[in-house]
Structure 1
Amino acid sequence: MSDRPLRVLVVHNRYRSEQPSGENNVVDQETALLAGAGHRVESFERRSDDIAAMSLFGKATVPVRVPWNPAVRAELTALLRARRPDIVHIHNTFPLLSPSVLAACADAGVPAVATLHNYTMTCAPGTLYRDGRVCTDCVGGSPLPAVRNGCYRGSRLATVPLAIGMAANRERWWSGVARFFCISDAQRQILVHAGMPEQRLAVKHNFVTDPGAVRTGPGEHVLYLGRLTEEKGVRLLMTAWDAVRDRSAPRVPLVLAGTGPLEDEVRRWADGRADVRYLGLRDKAECRELAARAMAMVAPSTWLETFGLVVVEAMAAGVPTVAAAHGAFVELVADGRTGLLHRPGDPVALANCLRRVLVDPAAARDMGTAARLRYEEGFTPAVGLRRLIAGYESVLSEAPAETGGEAGGHGTQTVR
């Protein structure tokens, strides 16, 4: 890693503050990591919270500016020419920034990299999930199926600006970004299949700050930590836990912490039960404490997670994870060694994995120890910083002409 301080401009449209955003957290932690290492970091941001304060006309024109925002292009171009950063790191551009940020980078002659936190390059809502199942109808093709099915917020009208943006800016994204950072190899493989330039797609896993609290005993509960939504597997978990209870009385309770559309359903399900506790939304410190006291974390997502911060947070706490065997979970969880993988969408398979944890706490403890070692090897801030800087420097070492045109044969393996 070079000792030369880099000048980095981070571009991000922040998600609404009314609900926790893992992506916002990743951006903030990565920015702080760079600054703490002596690099010069500035931010160019918009906040989705600002939409509420807009005039009626302003709100009405937001969808028009989703595919292209000329005012943002002009503002960012001026900033880049004034600040002259070495590199621009793009995260989210929806809904207030738009892909016009790529034109600004080209105007100012500054290379751009982009972290892909989801599947918005090939799926309008970025989830690859529709009607309770994984959906790849738009992967590698037209976004028209997304419009037909109203994939964004259940509305065809709301989906149109996203579909237009995808179709109109596809080539600009694929040629204007020098390197895409995928946050898992599972995500990368899907995007390669979608037709994205393979040589520009690198894998750079997210990192997690060491919680400072690692489980020492057998654990007091099985923990679900996250959004209460169908795609996160919450209903699947409830069905599986009922099956575990029907077979025997669980030694430890299931604890759920988080909020979301299924909150009322979860609250009713947990009410009056000794084997289930619903805690609602908890702050970061409380979540770290809950993780450190867990026998196992459970992540039964029915959609294809691009990463899975909760899995790595469990690793950092020395706790194994019971997770669905698809998406990024397959590369994060070593089945039988750092956790257990169950057949996706199958409550019986999930219940069987939960029983294995409950009946053999010694094995769960051993898996937690192995998970902690896996964290120390691959997901600490030090590892994250090394991989991020290596990614930047690999782009800066290339000919400037490659930024806006066809890339050469530069490497696309995991950033080391």
Structure 2
Amino acid sequence: MTETPAGGDVRLVGISKTYGTSFTAVHPLDLTVPQGTFFALLGASGCGKTTTLRMIAGLEDPTTGSVLLGDQDVTRLPPHKRPVNTVFQSYALFPHLTIHENIAFGLRRRGIRSVGKQVAEMLDLVQLGDFARRRPHQLSGGQQQRVAVARALINHPQVLLLDEPLGALDLKLRRQMQLELKRIQTEVGITFVHVTHDQEEAMAMADTVAVMNGGRVEQLGDPTELYETPRTAFVANFLGTSNLIDAETVSGAGGEVAVTAGGTVLRLPADRCATAPRSGDRLLVGIRPEKISLVHADDAATVPTGRNRFAGTVAAASFLGVSTQYLIDSPAGRKLEVYVQNIERDTRLTPGAPVVLHWNPAHTFALDPEPQSPDAPAPEAPGTDPAPQVPAATGDSA
């Protein structure tokens, strides 16, 4: 593999994008993508993630702020002069060219004639060495996606931008390609900035994830941190599912906070609270459905001491194969979700059955009780942020 050029962090400084006088796609944003990392911009359509990516690529001019790649300010550079390449959801392969010719196109357009060795390296990288003479229509969707990645990487960009590149693939193939993209990024060692609406995709591939909502970064961190310690209700429910229970703080001492909800006292670590609660403060207590254990009320005595616990009633049960999803009505709230792995199913846990929910207090988190916007988007089908359309290419298309 030919060495990639020395690069640097991608830095967005006060960058924003406004259309006309009324619509702001991206509010002023400061963001740093460390060199050599896999970074994901995650959010629903309209959140500003694709607009942000297009400003890095040079396909959108920022209204304010600067785009820096290492020490170079590229804000006013056109796309073809930036050390950046983009892979789009459509792949944009040339149907009349072979796979070898598609990958070589960018080099030949720059006047480089001896491309055989570099193309062969790229084909090996994406594990398509035997497909050089085929044409795009003879490849599967996943193979076409790998060709698009190889065509972008052969230019040795400082940064590879990926705009929903897996959105057109079916679920099984998409999961395979997540592993492939991560492998490729690790092997070539350059910065990947990946836009997606799929939270599982972002968590599976990215070193760091920026969750965007309404043109702002709601929370930034590694996938484990975002999932285990969300700081807003939006993040808690966009990355998976969370049970959010209205509660009131009773006390806080020794690194632990006690709250009351539905007439029951619950405990949680103080460092898992979005802000330091005071006695009498309202907050939202969160617990992920898979963290909760469920037993029939007749077995309540088997619940270990020291666990957070609620009594409730099964409202519904859905068999999902790997697990069963239960909806529980309790004094703390209706339709609390619980996922129970199907190892030894308790046939008594049917709608109407009395149950006890219990979980380790360490798995509990707390958020400020700020209401979510009623129009806050939820995970949805693939899409892009609203933006004027420009030619979908950066440096390697006709």
Name the TM-score, length of structure 1 as normaliser. 0.26
Higher relative contact order (CA 8 A, sep 6+): 2
Higher strand share: 2
Greater gyration radius: 2
